[in-house]
Amino acid sequence: MTSRLRIVYRQYRFEIAAVLALGVFVIAGLLISAWQFSTIHLPAGCDRYAAQNVGFGGPQPTAECINASQAWLNVDNGPLMHLTGSPWLLPFIFGVVLGAPLVAREVESGTAAISWALAGSRRRWLAGRMAAMLLLMVPLLIAAGFAADLLYNTRNQGASPWTSFFDYQGRGLPLLFWGLAAFAGTVALSSLTGRHAITLVLAAFICLTVRAQWDSVAAHTYLGPLSQTLATADQLRTGESSANWGVDLILGNNLYLHGEPWYGDINAWYNEHMVNTVEPDGSIVGNLNVAPEDMPASIPFGFYGAQYWSIVGIESAILFAGSLFCATVGLFWVGRRKPY
């Protein structure tokens, strides 16, 4: 087993070296940024952006608050945070770079026939190479996800990263499952096309397209029916909401009137309840003749931060199922294709 791993790692040493270098750099950057934030202690009640609001009226922050918030902003806007602050792209780079050459390079170089003949089973041959790459990729993505969660914790003064949906696809467990899906999908493309460059381009395009459309598709399919209105009964009657826009997962907004869902025309409603008055200077001013609690309210719906693990579990299961499907396609097709 060790000798087989050594052969695979030697054969793909360039891709492996690139992935290792990038992974170590990103993980180190995340940990260093987390340590920098951990050394900054904002006083109780101090806004992290207080240093930018001095002199604009309202309560003036203390000198201690200004100094701490300035230090926080220096780290948050620093080059290290810009380079490694959200490693959402990492699993796609790993999956595409490590998955593209597994079949395509053998076919292009003309060594596929010999390799497959010596291996005996093409599917076992590909499965061994996939396992070798996963042994490298999985620990890197787990480490990167943990480091990104730690950065969230220190950047937000000890807030739990597992009760917030802020950038949740770019940290923690989702990084691993996005990486598995990207890798398996790229291996399937590699076995189908048999061309390295074409696989790289197609896989990168498909991965980025899927990621860009994922949130929108999820909101209209499996997440939509599971979502809830982010307001209590009393808040619905007054047009308020209990949603935390920096923590909860907001899928959209629905209109409510007097605590009940309302599907009327908002423009027609305002025209109906608008009263025009003539000011002493002759100008006409429109005013609503209803109390604020009697007006239609836009209430967000989605999931509270406390439901983090439920949503992450559902999405991880979907990505894992997609990974198994793509891996099956790759293993099936490599046994059927011609070695050229």
Q: Closest Cα to residue 11, out of 140, 124, 125?
A: 125
Q: What is the DSSP letter of 337?
A: S
pLDDT band with cut points at 50, 70 and 90 for residue 282: low
Range from 105-119, 282-296, 324-338 carrying the lowest mean pLDDT? 282-296
| Positive or negative: CA dihedral 24, 26, 27, 33 | positive
* pLDDT > 70: percent of the chain: 98
Predicted confidence at residue 103, as pLDDT, reads: 94
Least confident stretch, 9-18, 61-70, 305-314:
61-70
Q: What is d(CA 120, CA 11) in angstroms, rounded to the nearest whole number? A: 19
Lowest mean pLDDT segment, chosen from 67-76, 90-99, 176-185: 67-76
Give the pLDDT mean for 156-161: 93
- 58 pLDDT exceeds 70? no
Sorted by sequence, the CB contacts under 8 Å of residue 134 that are 6+ apart come out as: 180, 183
Q: Say whether 269 sits in a helix, a strand or coil.
A: helix
The per-residue DSSP string of 23-55 comes to HHHHHHHHHHHHHHHHT--PPTT--TTGGGSTT
For the entire predicted model, the pTM comes to: 0.90
pLDDT at residue number 56: 60
pLDDT confidence of residue 7 = 85
Whether the per-residue pLDDT at 200 is higher than 70: the answer is yes
pLDDT for the residue numbered 236: 86
> Average pLDDT in the 273-297 region?
78
- Higher pLDDT: 52 or 122? It is 122
Share of the chain above pLDDT 90, in %: 66
Q: Each residue of 201-241: pLDDT tens digit?
A: 999 999 999 999 999 999 999 999 999 999 998 888 888 89
pLDDT at residue 109, as a whole number: 87
CA distances 211 to 8, 63, 164, Å, are 30, 43, 20
45-59, 95-109, 178-192: which range is least confident on average? 45-59
Predicted confidence (pLDDT) at residue 299 exceeds the cutoff of 90:
yes
Closest of 308, 46, 25, 19 to residue 152, by C-alpha: 308
CA pair distance 162, 167, nearest whole angstrom = 11
Q: Quote the pLDDT of residue 85.
A: 86
